[in-house]
Chain A
């Protein structure tokens, strides 16, 4: 009964380093999303996926890449981290929109880029 699990929970990077955030869901949801949360700016959509093997850009996709090779996993990559990418990252999943349903969120991953 894990729901949505994000790893790692915390990470500190130096400018220019790369890393990958993993989101795993066990609810057989079709849609998965990556958001970043910054003070005063709410949650902004980075990338999303409407099914295995598909990805699409959200509101703030620059500097990030994603992959959805397996239905249950959605990876968010930073190829060359920048201080502007310091944020809390949330993954979420949902049953396909025509079926309705709420977003289920992970607990968040706090990333600091020095």
Chain B
């Protein structure tokens, strides 16, 4: 079955520190993967996506993610967080079949310590 697990419900990091948000997926074929961010009271904004090719993907706002097929993971990273990065982050997985659906994880809430 298609699924996404974000094991960390809430993470707090200090401003300027590095960040890694975990995402593990289950999908029986080649997946395509997304990270979205949602600021309080706002809609969802795409940070980055992986479809094929280079497994290290660069996104907006200085974020990157690495697709590791052997670990079924697509972790999001940022070398130095800013207070404005405080938000909720969602990982999502879809597939290339014509019947594919896109499934989201339960999200990780990121807080920034001044």
Interface of A toward B, CB cutoff 8 Å: 33, 35, 40-45, 48, 50, 56, 58-59, 90, 92, 94, 96-98, 100, 102-103, 105-108
Contact = CB atoms under 8 A, between A and B. Distances in A.
B17 interface: no
Interface residues of B, number: 26
Nearest to B107: A42
Contacts of A40: 9, 106-107
B46 A103 contact: yes
A45 B99 contact: no
A97 B34 contact: no
Given A42-B107, A102-B46, A97 B94 contact: yes
B76 to A, nearest CB: 15
Q: Which 3 A-B pairs have the closest CB atoms?
A: A42-B106, A43-B104, A42-B107
B40 interface: no
Contact of B96 (A97, A102, A108): A97
A98 B100 CA distance: 10
Given A43-B90, A102-B46, A105-B44, A97 B103 contact: no
Contacts of A90: 43-44
A97 B90 contact: no
Contacts of A41: 106
B107 A98 contact: no
Contact of A97 (B6, B9, B32): B32
